[in-house]
């Protein structure tokens, strides 16, 4: 089961954590400049960005967070696994099951004229 979801592309899976800075710079600071060495090492390891393996962006969030749940519902609706909230309405509900009905007329949207806008 996925632990994180990307807010950009919807990838669900384990994120990749990348350290800031370079190992060579860390070794140089530890050997030449002894006092800033621990500060640089802590800075490299604290606040690691969680990178998406699919789109390489650092917008991965926990799937149990509010943003993660919203993105997962959005992706499920786009894939057709669930009905979008605006289209679905519960007609009959009891303890065993619910019947979902789609609206009959979905052409109530007005067209926008770019010249008038």
pLDDT in tens, 23-32: 999 999 999 9
Average pLDDT over residues 45-69: 89
Q: Supply the pLDDT for residue 108.
A: 55
Rounded (to 5) percent helix, strand, coil in the chain: 30, 20, 55
Report how many domains make up the chain.
Answer: 1
Residue 29: inside a domain: yes
Residue 112: inside a domain: no
Average pLDDT over residues 91-108: 52
Residue written as tokens 């009891």?
Answer: 94
Residue 117: inside a domain: no
Domain hosting 68: range is 4-83
Average pLDDT over residues 67-71: 88
Residue 111: inside a domain: no
Query: 72 or 91, which is more confident?
Result: 72
Q: Which of 11, 16, 4 is nearest to 54 (CA)?
A: 11
Residue 8: inside a domain: yes
Residue 26: inside a domain: yes
Residue 106: inside a domain: no
Chain-wide mean pLDDT for the chain? 78
Residue 63: inside a domain: yes
CA–CA distance, 62 with 70 (Å, rounded to integer): 11
Helix axes 36-45, 23-32, angle to 10 degrees: 160
Give the tokens for residue 25. 């710079």
């Amino acid at each position: 089961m996925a632990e994180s979801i990307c807010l950009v592309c919807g990838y669900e899976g384990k994120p990749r954590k990348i350290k800031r800075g370079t190992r060579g710079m860390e070794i140089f600071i530890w050997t030449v400049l002894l006092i800033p060495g621990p500060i640089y090492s802590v800075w490299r390891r604290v606040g690691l960005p969680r990178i998406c393996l699919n789109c390489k962006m650092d917008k991965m969030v926990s799937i149990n967070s509010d943003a993660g749940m919203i993105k997962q519902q959005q992706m499920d609706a786009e894939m057709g696994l669930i009905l979008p909230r605006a289209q679905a309405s519960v007609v009959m509900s009891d303890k065993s099951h619910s019947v979902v009905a789609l609206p009959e007329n979905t052409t109530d949207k007005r067209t926008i004229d770019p010249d008038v806008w």
